[in-house]
C-alpha cells in the first residue's frame, strides 16, 4: 500500500504536492491538539505524537536503519554522504557535515528557548537552581562553564584555529580568525553580525592601510572603525560614514571633524618646527587590552615552531 501511495505521489504536480503538504500539516496539527497517535486512532503518549506501540516500532526501525547505514560507511542521518572527518569533541561523529549543521541549529534553537524561559523565571539556565546576582547561572554551573570554555580555547589555540568558531586559522596577532573578528566588529557597531562582509569589503577597498598613516593595520590588532563624521556630531552609523584607521589615530581624532583634525595636526607640525623630523614607526599592538595580551602570549607558547 505504501509503495502504491509513493507512486501516486510521484505523479503529482508541484502545485498538488504543495497542497498535499499543507493538508497533511493541518491534519497532523489537529491530531496533535486532540492527543491522538499520528499512525492509529489510539491515544498518544504524554508529550509525544505516537502511541506506545508505534513509538517502539519507530525506534526499532530507526535503530535498524542507523546500523545499516553505519555498516555501509554512510551518514546515519541522511544515508547519502559519508560521515564528516571532523570529530565531535573526543567522539568520532557518525553524521555528515550537512546533518551535523542541521542538528546543531535545531539544538541551538531549543537551548535558546529554554535559556530565555529560565532567565525570565529567575532560574539558573543550566540546572534550574538559584543564579548568582546579576548572572544567568549559579556558582557551580558558572565555574564549570568557565573551566570548559578555558579548556576549549586552549585546545583550539594548540590546534592553531580560531577560539570563537574553531573552524579557520587564527589571524596575525589574534586568537580569532579574520571572519570572526569582522563579525565581532559588526556586533560592536551595529548590534548584530550581519554586516561583517561589508566591513571586510571596506577593509579590502582600503587595501588594509590606514588612510592617515598609510601603514598596514591588521584587523584585531591595530585596526579600528572610525566614523568620518562622528555620531555625536550628527554622523550616521552607516558603512558610507566609516573607515578603518589605526587605533591611535582613532583615539586622537575622537569626535573631531576630519578637516579640523588635519588642521590641528598641521598646526602642531609647523609650530614645533618638525620639517626635519624623522617619523617613528608606530607599534602594531600597544598591549592596552590585557586579555588580548594574555591570549597573544598563550598563542606564542602553544603554537609549535615552524621549520
Claim: this prediction has a pTM higher than 0.95: no
Among all chains, which residue has been given the C-alpha cell 590588532?
221
Is residue 292's pLDDT more than 70? no
Q: How many of the other CB atoms lie within 10 Å of CB of 122?
A: 9
Q: CA geometry: angle at 87 spanning 85 and 88, to 5°?
A: 145
| Half-sphere exposure at residue 255, Cβ-oriented, CA atoms within 13 angstroms | 6
Q: Cα(250)–Cα(245) distance, rounded to whole angstroms?
A: 6
Q: CA geometry: angle at 188 spanning 185 and 194, to 5°?
A: 65
Q: What's the pLDDT at 87?
A: 53
Which has the higher per-residue pLDDT, 19 or 276?
19
Q: What's the pLDDT at 222?
A: 87
Is residue 305's pLDDT more than 80? no
Q: Cα(156)–Cα(292) distance, rounded to whole angstroms?
A: 16
Q: Quick one: cell of 80?
A: 547519502
Kindly give the interhelix angle for 196-205 and 178-190, rounded to the nearest 10 degrees: 110
Model confidence pLDDT, tens digit, residues 148-197: 999 998 888 888 889 888 888 888 778 889 999 999 999 999 999 999 99
Question: Domains in the chain, ordered, with CATH?
Answer: 2-64 (no CATH), 73-121 (no CATH), 193-285 (1.10.30)
Q: Cα(66)–Cα(76) distance, rounded to whole angstroms?
A: 5
Q: Cα(222)–Cα(210) distance, rounded to whole angstroms?
A: 10
Model confidence pLDDT, tens digit, residues 60-113: 999 999 999 989 989 988 888 888 876 544 456 788 888 888 888 888 888 888
Q: Cα(105)–Cα(113) distance, rounded to whole angstroms?
A: 13
Model confidence pLDDT, tens digit, residues 242-291: 999 999 899 888 888 888 888 988 888 888 887 777 766 666 555 544 44
HEC letters along the chain: CHHHHHHHHHCCCHHHHHHHHHHHHHHHHHHHHHCECCCCCCECCCCCCCCHHHHHHHHHHHHHHHHHHHHCCCCCCCCCCCCCCCCECCECCCCCHHHHHHHHHHHHHHHHHHHHHHHHCCCCCCCCCCCCCCCCCCHHHHHHHHHHHHHHHHHHHHHCECCCCCCCECCCCCCCCHHHHHHHHHHHHHCCCCCHHHHHHHHHHCCCECCCCCCECCCCCCEEEEECCCHHHCCCCCHHHEEEEEHHHHHHHCCCCHHHHHHHHHHHHHHCCCCCCCCCCCCCCCCCCHHHHHHHHHHHHHCCCCC
Looking at the DSSP bridge assignments, the partners of residue 36 are 43
Amino acid at each position: 500500500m505504501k509503495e502504491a501511495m509513493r507512486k501516486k505521489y510521484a505523479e503529482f504536480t508541484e502545485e498538488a504536492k504543495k497542497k498535499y503538504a499543507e493538508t497533511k500539516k493541518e491534519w497532523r496539527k489537529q491530531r496533535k491538539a486532540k492527543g491522538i497517535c499520528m499512525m492509529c486512532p489510539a491515544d498518544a503518549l504524554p508529550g509525544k505524537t505516537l502511541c506506545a506501540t508505534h513509538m517502539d516500532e519507530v525506534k526499532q526501525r530507526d535503530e535498524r536503519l542507523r546500523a545499516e547505514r553505519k555498516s555501509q560507511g554512510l551518514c546515519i542521518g541522511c544515508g547519502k554522504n559519508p560521515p564528516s572527518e571532523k570529530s565531535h569533541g573526543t567522539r568520532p561523529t557518525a553524521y555528515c557535515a550537512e546533518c551535523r549543521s542541521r542538528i546543531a541549529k535545531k539544538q541551538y534553537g531549543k537551548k535558546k528557548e529554554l535559556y530565555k524561559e529560565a532567565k525570565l523565571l529567575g532560574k539558573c539556565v543550566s540546572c534550574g537552581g538559584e543564579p548568582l546576582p546579576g548572572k544567568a547561572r549559579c556558582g557551580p554551573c558558572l565555574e564549570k562553564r568557565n573551566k570548559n570554555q578555558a579548556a576549549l580555547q586552549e585546545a583550539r589555540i594548540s590546534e592553531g584555529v580560531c577560539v570563537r568558531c574553531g573552524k579557520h586559522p587564527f589571524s596575525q596577532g589574534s586568537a580569532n580568525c579574520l571572519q570572526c573578528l569582522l563579525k565581532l566588529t559588526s556586533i560592536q557597531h551595529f548590534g548584530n553580525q550581519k554586516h561583517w562582509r561589508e566591513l571586510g569589503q571596506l577593509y579590502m577597498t582600503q587595501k588594509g592601510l590606514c588612510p592617515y598613516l598609510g601603514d598596514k593595520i591588521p584587523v584585531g590588532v591595530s585596526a579600528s572603525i572610525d566614523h568620518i563624521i562622528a555620531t555625536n556630531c550628527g554622523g550616521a552609523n552607516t558603512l558610507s560614514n566609516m573607515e578603518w584607521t589605526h587605533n591611535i589615530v582613532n583615539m586622537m581624532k575622537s569626535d573631531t571633524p576630519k578637516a579640523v583634525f588635519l588642521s590641528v595636526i598641521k598646526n602642531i607640525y609647523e609650530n614645533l618646527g618638525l620639517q626635519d623630523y624623522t617619523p617613528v614607526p608606530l607599534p602594531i599592538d600597544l598591549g592596552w587590552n590585557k586579555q588580548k595580551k594574555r591570549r597573544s602570549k598563550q598563542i606564542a607558547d602553544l603554537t609549535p615552531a615552524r621549520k
